Amino acid sequence: MSREKILMIDDEPDKIFIFSTILQNKGFEVLTAASGNEGIELIQTAHPDLILLDINMPDISGHVVREKLKERPFTRNVPVVMFSSSDQVTDKIRSLKTGADDYITKDVDHEELVARLEALIRRYKDSLGANPLTKLPGNYAIEDDINFRIKAGFEFAVCYADLDNFKAYNDKYGFKSGDEVIKKTAEVITQAVSELGTKDDFIGHVGGDDFAFVISQRDKIDSICKNIIDTLNEIYPELYNEEDRKKGFIITKNRKDETDQFPLMSISIAVVSNENNKLTNVGQIAQIASEVKKMLKSKPGSNYWIDRRSAVAGVN
């Protein structure tokens, strides 16, 4: 079972040692950064569940770090706890009024510290509706991210990924094997977006074999989708037994309880971009994606398609 991950940003080595040791002994995974800029860089790859942030640092203050994190779609919902030696009321008020989730002084009782951090992480994960299998954010967080981008007027593209012939595989090989498919798919999508995209991209798990990821720069779409497809085209066949792999299909029951033949699994990625079309709400985006997925499902194998139409009839 994965441990909750805390990123501690503090320029005092003794404080980092003391509190990281305390938190590690309580079961947390602790990452550390010795400056505000180092912390901002680390967040992009570490994806912490909570950030413990000092205020007074030599390069940029904790207040500036917090403001930068709250401006970015990928990090704006991650709990930020200001962790300072200062007990000044003005520091507390400024922090809490500008986005901090809590303010804790460094003389805090250690048991109280752990309890408060656990509560914040629990509320954070509940708000994301994280999928228990992949740990990726669920529908609420996906919609929240998209709405944030629409309101801010950002450039973006929403990519809906859907496995083809997954139910047939799941029926024949069992739920445990099916869960492994879902986890491997999540890992591949996460790796592709993290390595080929930007720090502001978002990855979510709609449920079942449906995923959604949001790309912040449209020129990254092709490389990300191609990487996902190429990687999964190598992985999926290896999940079948040798006989099915050689045949290129499996025989099992369809939804009408009739014996049928199904190709090996593949993935379809429907991409909805605001390049030429004014996207105003999640429902509009989902409707366009549904049309694109229907077209993709009519094609054999893994495919992606980017909807670049300037307007879609009947969709608003």
Which pLDDT score is estimated for 311? 62
Domain boundaries along the sequence of the chain: 5-128, 139-307
pLDDT at res. 270: 98
- Domain at 139-307: CATH code: 3.30.70.270
Domain 5-128 has CATH 3.40.50.720: no
Torsion of CA 187, 232, 298, 215, to 10 degrees: 40
The pLDDT value given to residue 72: 75
Closest to 162 in 3D by CA, of 232, 97, 223? 232
pTM above 0.95, yes or no: no
Tell me what pLDDT residue 46 has. Answer: 82
8 Å CB contact between 197 and 224: yes
Tens-place pLDDT, residues 294-314: 999 999 999 999 998 776 544
Residue 101 structure tokens: 């989730």
Q: Which residues of the chain have pLDDT under 70?
A: 1-2, 73, 311-316
Q: Check if the beta carbon of residue 270 is closer than 8 Å to that of residue 305.
A: yes
Q: Over pLDDT 70: what percentage of the chain?
A: 97
Q: Summarize pLDDT for 254-298 with one digit per residue, the tens.
A: 888 889 999 999 999 999 999 888 999 999 999 999 999 999 999
